[in-house]
């Protein structure tokens, strides 16, 4: 691998929050980073021609158009890495419109984090190994955790980790806002586990609602998983309404079995 001074990186969407975040991280390690975005002097095509590795950090609605634009300009020696929160379709788009090395990547955190320490990044070596190895080594040197996972598996898991998790938190926030209770009193009476929930809901204050909307809408498994979740909520609500202790204990023990497996890992 060439020394840092010889590797030039490009970030398409580099004026966005995640693009700016990674630009700062790369430059702190001595990399030259070029940026293309709306209104920048450099275009997407300029980066494709000038950079060893091009990162695509754009909304998924613009992703295919960007890849089609730069794909023919990228050589087999270059690398293309995306930051999309879904991987299957986006990975197929990159492979279909390029001959360069391709890495599917999903930073499992937001741009509000200070650095990469203990942050998780999902990765998949879609085509070639050179730039996959480079990026994985860079992340590990920054004390990040890398998880190598096929795009199909990634998207199925994100239907729970993102789609349902966000849905739960959004519903909790809406419930607290509409229950007619004083927020300050809720915070004072919060148990330790609920304090952790409140801390996560509080993070919504700094997030992009459109991004969270797209996470709900774009995952092809989202609708199926939301309805499964609603079915489970309805089942638990009926059990509680009927005060059916036997059934409640049965469901609780079922989840306890899962809980023990989680603790072992």
- pLDDT at position 1: 58
Q: Which residues of the chain have pLDDT under 50?
A: none
Residues 144 and 190 placed together within one structural domain of the fold: no
Q: Are residues 135 and 160 in the same domain?
A: no
* Residue % of the chain over a pLDDT of 90: 91
**In the chain, how many domains are there?**
2
Picking from 149, 164, 195, the residue at the C-terminal end of a domain is 149
Q: Quick one: 142 and 160 in the same domain?
A: no
The reply to whether 28 and 140 lie within a common domain is yes
Measure Cα distances from 100 to 11, 26, 170, 209 in Å. 16, 21, 40, 34
CATH number at residue 69: 3.40.50.720
Q: Does 230 lie in the same domain as 134?
A: no
Last residue of a domain, one of 85, 116, 149: 149
- Please identify, among 108, 124, 149, the residue that sits at the C-terminal boundary of a domain: 149
Give Cα separations from 54 to 42, 51, 200, 207 (angstroms): 13, 6, 32, 25
Answer yes or no: do 112 and 231 share one domain: no
Q: What is the pLDDT of residue 208?
A: 85
Residue 220 CB contacts under 8 Å (≥ 6 apart), including other chains: 89, 155
Check whether residue 166 and residue 236 sit in a common domain: yes
Q: Which residues contact 128 (CB under 8 A, 6 or more apart)?
A: 79, 100, 101, 102
Instruction: State pLDDT tens for residues 201-259.
Output: 999 998 889 889 989 999 999 999 999 999 999 999 999 999 999 999 999 999 999 99
Quick one: 142 and 117 in the same domain?
A: yes
Task: Please give the pLDDT value at position 113.
Answer: 92
Q: Does residue 55 sit in helix, strand or coil?
A: strand
120 with 160, same domain: the answer is: no
pLDDT value at residue 27: 97
- For residues 139 and 142, give the distance between their C-alpha atoms in angstroms, rounded to a whole number: 5
Distance CA 47, CA 54 (A): 7
Stretch (H or E) spanning 82? strand 79-82
Range of the domain at 87: 4-149
Is 210 in the same domain as 91?
no
């Amino acid at each position: 691998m060439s020394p840092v001074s010889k590797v030039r990186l490009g970030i398409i969407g580099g004026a966005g929050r995640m693009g700016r975040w990674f630009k700062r991280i790369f430059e702190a390690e001595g990399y030259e980073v070029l940026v293309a975005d709306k209104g920048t002097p450099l275009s997407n095509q300029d980066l494709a021609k000038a950079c060893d590795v091009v990162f695509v950090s754009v909304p998924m609605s613009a992703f295919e158009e960007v890849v089609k634009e730069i794909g023919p300009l990228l050589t087999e020696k270059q690398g293309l890495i995306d930051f999309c929160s879904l991987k299957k379709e986006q990975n197929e788009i990159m492979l279909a419109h390029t001959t360069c090395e391709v890495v599917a990547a999903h930073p499992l955190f937001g741009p509000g984090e200070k650095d990469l320490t203990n942050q998780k990044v999902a990765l998949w070596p879609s085509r070639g190994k050179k730039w996959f190895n480079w990026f994985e080594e860079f992340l590990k040197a920054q004390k990040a955790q890398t998880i190598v996972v096929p795009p199909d598996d990634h998207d199925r898991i994100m239907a729970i980790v993102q789609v349902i998790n966000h849905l739960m938190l959004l519903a909790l926030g809406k419930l607290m806002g509409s229950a007619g209770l004083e927020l300050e009193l809720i915070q004072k009476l919060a148990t330790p586990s609920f304090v952790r929930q409140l801390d996560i809901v509080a993070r919504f204050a700094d997030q992009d609602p459109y991004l969270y909307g797209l996470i709900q809408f774009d995952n092809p498994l989202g609708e199926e998983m939301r309805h499964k979740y609603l079915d489970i909520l309805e089942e638990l609500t009926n059990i509680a309404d009927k005060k059916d202790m036997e059934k409640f204990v049965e469901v609780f023990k079922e989840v306890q079995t899962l809980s023990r497996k989680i603790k072992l890992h």
